């Protein structure tokens, strides 16, 4: 900007003379430049000078201002003088205020002096700076030193030393300590008893300056009034005490420490026969000794020690003493209580009626006890008889069960053999008549066998030999098995047959549950001539219901209960095969399982049997046992090794299997040479009886035989023992089991399953 | 709060470290401080140290010691003129107390607000010592030497301080002119100023003198930018050229050494004051360390014999305060360059050591309300 300004400035009017020489031109040029420079310097200086008076100076003017600050300092000195002058004025005012304060203090002193209460002011160092006449009157000891601002602790220790207060006479050091601490706290009023009988109330408070002010009030007169008041209260309390004593039914008399009678009640006068003789007021007994002799001589007291005077020490350890005595005809309980002040209280309680009543009670109790004993003896006898009867019944039941079990076993063995023979004959070519007979014999055998099996099962259930293995299980495999088992039968009868699929799980025993459902379904199919048989599965949160519904003839209401009994068949059912034991077994099995069964039916309406089992959450399915019995596909007509110690069974089995086109080696014992020879030929299957000679079991025999070859030859166990033990043992080793008598159909099915046929 | 200041005679704690790394430096300082209780301490450090790392190490190594100070363009240590070091001056708590205040963002500096804050600081410090008779108070001032705001700050501060005298220096960075730092509350800050009020019953005296006298030549600034402190023209001619012409010298390079030897001076309030040149720019202009303006008349200073001058100065100071405990010196960096050029560093250093002068080389000195250049300023503390 300045530069532009400088540029605009017109050139000076001075014109150089016309001289053609170059020197002059150069000189002219130099001068012109110089002039321009000077003009610019001039402009800058003018600008600077002008701006120097501006208030809004730049940084440089600030610098200049700073330098000239000294001038400001001078100004400030002036201000200082003014301030000093003001200070002086203030000082004067202060002096006036001081005078006023002094006057106020005098007024205050007069006011304090006129107080009737003692007044003492202590400064923040606890020195007494002010006190009035009344204060010195209360504590004359301080008169001599009140002028030299004594410390409170000095005043207090003076009091303590001279024993001016009651407490300081007893324990001067302690009183002094407490008093000083109290003064420090300065939290209100407390009372001091002076040795000369005066009572002083001291009210100490903290001042705003950290000192303490104390007001000392003589309250002796107030205290005296207090004492009178207390005496009045005591007298009233005595009246109350007497009234209380009079209301007691017991006789009470109270002696002071010297043994003089102090108080008594009506009761004691009546009881000791003192009434009337002395009229109102004091009885003629005045002290303890007179009471004692009165009781002993005039009232016939039998135990003198009841009225003994007891010393305080003994009394403290024993407390109240209670003595049962006779006074003439009367029973009296005398209690003696020593008092803290050395006196004693005696109470007399007439318990004659009470004692009499107690005696009659005791007698009643004894009579009752006697009668209870008699009845107890009777009951024991009856109980013993009952136990005997129960034992007898149990023995009878046991022998019946074991009889049936052994009879069944003995019956089943020969039946098994008979069956095998009949089956063998079944495959042979024979005349029609003979074939029909064989067929009927076979049917008859089936019938006997089924009947025996049912009886056997009932006996085992009754004997408690069946223990359910309750476990979480999927319902679907059981239903599937039912579907496969009964679909052909239903189809043969021309019935619609439906069993649904389900993913529900229940807690039950798989074998027993299946047994029940088999029974329901089989019954339904057998009794339904036309229509349908279906299984329905429903569930609630906790329970699964399986219903088997048919369109059969239904059951009359009066018959519903009977059908669950043994050999009970109702209605026109004689044509239908069956022995009437199925539902009897169902009843027992469901009882063992703890499942409920229900029946809904009416004649002509069909029937619906329901079993309800607890529902449970699905579990991961246990991996199926590898079927060790699974063998390689045998060639047509493979070799089967049969081991059984019963020659009849061996022969029957041999005949049956050969009929099915299999080669058979039958041996009574696994160590038989024929067995060894057979092993070398690579048998496709072993059928082994469980109970062999010399106590050897079938699974052991299988192990021995398998041990002789390197192959896991498939094997089947056969047993007449239907106990759980054998079944578990076989299952553990993965061996399939067939029960005797062996049903050919079942054996055949198993052989197919094992790929032998 | 009532602070009881005793008239203790524990001398000021001074120490310095030449260690290579920050950790060792702080370890040296901590060892020197030991268990001494300090009311506060001043710390001046070379710009060779990484600032954040140094600040962190100081927080950890000297916890509880209020530290203020700044980066320097050379230090005055127990060896006299020194470089590449850290120097610490501690005020024993028994005879000193120190309170401090910082102003940030100097471009938006609000003088009204700042004065209020300073007055509060002073009132607080006064109240702390109301019970003590005859205490002395001075204000120590440290400002970012590259802020260009020293004039305003100094004047504002001194105004608010009243009769407490202000003394201080502008932070330096060893003539790099890139970044300087002011230490306060455990950190180095840029673009800020710190003011501390030091209270003691010990005698304290502040001073500010320049070892130059005005020469015969006169020149007028005809073209300048006060904002950037740049002078374009002197006597309506390019500034650098005209300045050199008037010195009557023919330097090979126009550098700090030359500026130090031929400082421009201005007459104000009946006295001459140096207005130092910071650098010569390629366009022929000159940048100053302090406020300039058009129309300002400058002369070119001539050096006074330094050693005698310094002796005289020390004599004057000790006359004021008696036995010198220590002098906290704010010595312009150009003074050091000039001393190097005249080869009197050794002699001067001995003088500094003998008279317990501890401090740093500044980018400018603050004395009372003014921002000065090329002076030797200081705070002398007696016993």
Instruction: State pLDDT tens for residues A639-698.
Output: 888 888 887 788 888 878 887 878 888 888 888 888 888 888 888 888 988 888 777 888
Task: Tell me whether residues A69 and B158 touch, CB distance under 8 A.
Answer: yes
State yes or no: pLDDT of B104 exceeds 80: yes
Tell me the mean pLDDT in the region B51-62.
Answer: 94
| Selection from A350, A204, A173, A179 nearest residue A271 by Cα | A350
The more confidently predicted of residues B277 and A416 is: B277
Whole-number Å distance between alpha carbons of B267 and B297: 8
Q: What pLDDT, on the 0 to 100 scale, is given for residue B224?
A: 93
Burial (CB count <10 Å: 0-12, 13-18, 19+), residue A212? buried
| Selection from A36, A46, A40 nearest residue A12 by Cα | A36
Whole-number Å distance between alpha carbons of B204 and B315: 15
* A80: closest chain B residue by CA: B163
* B227: closest chain A residue by CA: A59
Q: What pLDDT, on the 0 to 100 scale, is given for residue A13?
A: 45
Whole-number Å distance between alpha carbons of A519 and A151: 116
Beta strands in A66-207 (DSSP E): 118-122, 128-131, 187-193, 199-206
CA distance A30 to chain B (A): 14
Burial (CB count <10 Å: 0-12, 13-18, 19+), residue B342? middle
Structure tokens at A236: 């009233």
* B266: closest chain A residue by CA: A64
Residues of chain A contacting residue B156, judged by C-beta atoms under 8 Å apart: none
Q: What is the pLDDT of residues A321-374, one digit of tens each?
A: 888 888 888 888 888 888 877 788 888 888 888 888 888 888 888 889 988 998
Stretch among A221-225, B40-44, B150-154 having the lowest mean pLDDT: A221-225
Q: What pLDDT, on the 0 to 100 scale, is given for residue B7?
A: 66
Substitution target from B225, B241, B293 for chain A, most A beta carbons within 10 A = B293
Structure tokens at B383: 């016993």
Q: What pLDDT, on the 0 to 100 scale, is given for residue A314?
A: 64
Compute the count of residue pairs across chains A and B with CB atoms less than 8 Å apart. 91
Substitution target from B228, B291, B368 for chain A, most A beta carbons within 10 A = B291
Q: What is the pLDDT of residues B207-233, one digit of tens each?
A: 999 999 999 989 999 999 988 899 999
Q: What pLDDT, on the 0 to 100 scale, is given for residue A633?
A: 40
Name the residue with tokens 């069964």: A597
ipTM: 0.71
State yes or no: pLDDT of B289 exceeds 70: yes
Task: Tell me whether residues B237 and A68 touch, CB distance under 8 A.
Answer: no
Would you say A717 and A686 are in contact if contact means Cβ atoms under 8 Å apart?
A: no
| Selection from B118, B158, B140 nearest residue B381 by Cα | B140
Q: Are strands A607-616 and A596-601 parallel, antiparallel or unpaired?
A: antiparallel
Predicted model pTM: 0.44
DSSP 8-state code for residue A165: B
Classify the phi-psi angles of A538: left when phi > 0, otherwise alpha if psi is within -120 to 50, otherwise beta: beta
Q: Which H/E stretch holds residue B163?
A: none
**Regions of chain A short of the pLDDT cut 70:** 1-20, 53-57, 69-75, 77-78, 81, 84-85, 88, 275-283, 312-318, 401, 404-405, 408-409, 426-427, 463, 465, 567-580, 620-637
Q: What pLDDT, on the 0 to 100 scale, is given for residue B193?
A: 96
Q: Name which of B151, B220, B292 is nearest A45 (Cβ-Cβ).
A: B220
Q: Which residues, including other chains, have CB under 8 Å from residue B182's CB and lie 6 or more apart? A: B68, B69, B70, B71, B102, B142, B143, B144, B171, B188, B189, B190, B192, B193, B194
Q: What are residue A545's phi and psi, to 5 degrees?
A: -110, 130
Stretch among A200-214, B37-51, B281-295 having the lowest mean pLDDT: A200-214
Would you say A536 and A547 are in contact if contact means Cβ atoms under 8 Å apart?
A: yes
Q: Name which of A43, A62, A68 is nearest B152 (Cβ-Cβ).
A: A62
């Amino acid at each position: 900007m300045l530069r532009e300004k400088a540029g605009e400035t017109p050139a000076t009017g001075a014109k150089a003379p016309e001289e053609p020489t170059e020197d002059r031109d150069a000189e002219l040029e130099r001068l012109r430049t110089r002039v321009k420079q000077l003009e610019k310097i001039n402009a800058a200086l003018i600008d600077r000078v002008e701006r120097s008076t501006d208030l809004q100076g730049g940084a440089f003017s600030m610098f200049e201002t700073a330098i000239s600050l000294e001038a400001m300092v001078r100004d400030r000195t002036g201000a200082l003088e003014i301030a000093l002058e003001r200070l002086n004025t203030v000082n004067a005012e202060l002096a006036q205020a001081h005078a006023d304060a002094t006057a106020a203090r005098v007024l205050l002193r007069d006011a304090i002096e006129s107080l009737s209460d003692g007044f003492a002011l202590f400064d923040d160092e606890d020195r007494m700076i002010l006190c009035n006449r009344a204060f010195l009157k209360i504590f004359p000891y301080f008169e001599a030193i009140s002028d030299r601002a004594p410390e409170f602790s000095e005043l207090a220790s003076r009091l303590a030393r001279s024993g001016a207060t009651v407490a300081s006479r007893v324990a001067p050091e302690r009183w002094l300590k407490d008093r000083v601490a109290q003064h420090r706290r300065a939290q209100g009023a407390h009372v001091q008893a002076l040795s000369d009988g005066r009572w002083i109330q001291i009210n100490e408070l903290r001042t705003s300056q950290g000192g303490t002010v104390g007001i000392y009030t003589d309250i002796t007169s107030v205290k005296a009034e207090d004492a009178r008041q207390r005496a009045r209260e005591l007298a009233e309390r005595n009246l109350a005490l007497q009234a209380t004593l009079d209301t007691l039914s017991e006789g009470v008399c109270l002696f002071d420490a010297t043994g003089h009678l102090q108080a008594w009640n009506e009761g004691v006068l009546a009881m000791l026969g003192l009434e009337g003789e002395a009229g109102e007021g004091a009885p003629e007994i005045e002290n303890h000794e007179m009471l004692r002799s009165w009781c002993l001589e005039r009232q016939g007291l039998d135990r003198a020690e009841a009225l003994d005077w007891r010393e305080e020490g003994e009394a403290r350890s024993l407390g109240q003493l209670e003595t049962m005595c006779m006074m003439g005809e009367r029973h009296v309980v005398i209690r003696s209580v020593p008092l803290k002040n050395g006196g004693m209280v005696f109470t007399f309680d007439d318990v004659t009626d009470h004692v009499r009543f107690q005696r009659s009670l005791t007698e009643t109790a004894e009579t009752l006890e006697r009668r209870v004993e008699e009845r107890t003896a009777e009951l024991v006898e009856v109980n013993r008889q009952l136990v005997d009867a129960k034992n007898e019944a149990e023995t009878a039941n046991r022998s019946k069960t074991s009889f049936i079990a052994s009879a069944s076993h003995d019956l089943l063995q020969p039946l098994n053999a008979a069956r095998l023979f009949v089956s063998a004959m079944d495959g042979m070519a024979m005349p029609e008549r003979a074939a029909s007979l064989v067929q009927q014999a076979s049917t008859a055998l089936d019938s006997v066998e089924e009947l025996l099996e049912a009886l056997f099962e009932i006996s085992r259930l009754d004997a408690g030999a069946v223990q359910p293995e309750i476990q979480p299980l999927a319902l679907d495999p059981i239903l599937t098995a039912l579907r496969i088992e009964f679909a052909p039968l239903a189809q043969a009868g021309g019935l619609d047959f439906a069993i649904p699929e389900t993913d529900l799980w229940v807690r039950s025993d798989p074998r027993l549950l299946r047994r029940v459902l088999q029974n329901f379904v089989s019954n339904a199919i057998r009794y339904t001539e036309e229509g349908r048989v279906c299984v329905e599965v429903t569930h609630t949160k906790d329970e699964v219901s399986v219903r088997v519904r048919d369109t059969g003839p239904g059951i009359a209401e009066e018959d519903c209960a009977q059908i669950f009994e043994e050999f009970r068949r109702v209605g026109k059912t004689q044509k239908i095969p069956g022995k009437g034991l199925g539902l009897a077994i169902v009843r027992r099995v469901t009882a063992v399982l703890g499942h409920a069964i229900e029946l809904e039916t009416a004649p002509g309406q069909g029937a619906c049997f329901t079993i309800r089992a607890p529902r449970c959450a699905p579990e991961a399915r246990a991996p199926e046992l590898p079927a060790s019995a699974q063998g390689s596909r045998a060639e047509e007509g493979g070799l089967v090794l049969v081991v059984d110690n019963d020659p009849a069974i061996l022969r029957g089995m041999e005949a049956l299997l050969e009929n099915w086109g299999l080669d058979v080696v039958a041996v009574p014992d696994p160590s038989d040479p024929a067995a060894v020879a057979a092993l070398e030929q690579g048998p496709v299957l072993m059928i082994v009886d469980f109970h062999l000679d010399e106590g050897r079991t079938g699974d052991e025999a299988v192990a021995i035989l398998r041990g002789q070859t390197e192959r896991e030859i498939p094997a089947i166990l056969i047993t007449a023992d239907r106990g759980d033990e054998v079944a578990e043992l076989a299952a553990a080793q993965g061996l399939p089991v067939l029960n005797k008598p062996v049903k050919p159909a079942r054996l055949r099915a198993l052989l197919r399953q094992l790929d032998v046929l | 709060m009532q602070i009881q200041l005793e008239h203790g005679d524990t001398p000021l704690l001074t120490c310095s470290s030449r260690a290579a790394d920050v950790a060792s430096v702080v370890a040296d300082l901590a060892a020197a401080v030991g268990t001494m209780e300090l009311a506060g301490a001043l710390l001046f450090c070379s710009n060779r140290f990484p600032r954040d790392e140094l600040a962190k190490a100081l927080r950890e190594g000297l916890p509880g010691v209020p530290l203020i100070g700044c980066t320097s363009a050379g230090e005055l240590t127990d060896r006299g003129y020194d470089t590449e070091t850290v120097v610490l001056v501690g005020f024993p708590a028994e005879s000193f107390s120190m309170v401090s205040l910082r102003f940030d963002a100097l471009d938006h500096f609000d003088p009204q607000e700042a004065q209020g804050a300073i007055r509060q600081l002073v009132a607080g410090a006064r109240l702390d010592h109301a019970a003590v008779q005859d205490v002395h108070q001075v204000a120590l001032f440290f400002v970012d030497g590259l802020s260009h705001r020293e004039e305003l700050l100094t004047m504002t501060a001194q105004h608010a301080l009243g009769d407490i005298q202000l003394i201080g220096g502008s932070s330096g960075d060893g003539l790099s002119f890139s970044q300087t730092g002011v230490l306060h509350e455990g950190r180095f800050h840029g673009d800020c100023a710190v003011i501390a009020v030091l209270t003691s019953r010990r005698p304290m005296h502040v001073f500010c003198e320049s070892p130059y006298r005005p020469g015969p030549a006169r020149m007028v600034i005809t073209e300048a930018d006060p904002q950037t402190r740049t002078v374009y023209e002197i006597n309506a001619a390019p500034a650098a050229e005209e300045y050199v012409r008037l010195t009557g010298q023919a330097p090979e390079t126009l550098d700090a050494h030359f500026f130090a030897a031929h400082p421009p001076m201005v007459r104000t309030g009946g006295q001459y004051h140096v207005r130092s040149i910071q650098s010569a720019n390629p366009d022929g202009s000159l940048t100053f360390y302090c406020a300039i303006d058009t129309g300002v008349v400058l002369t070119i200073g001539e050096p006074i014999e330094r050693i005698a001058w310094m002796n005289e100065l020390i004599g004057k100071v000790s006359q004021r305060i008696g036995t010198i405990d220590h002098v906290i010196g704010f010595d312009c960096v150009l003074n050091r360059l000039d001393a190097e050029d005249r080869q009197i560093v050794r002699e001067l250093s001995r003088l500094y050591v003998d008279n317990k002068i501890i401090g740093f080389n500044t980018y400018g000195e603050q004395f009372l309300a003014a921002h000065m250049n090329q002076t030797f300023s200081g705070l002398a503390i007696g016993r």
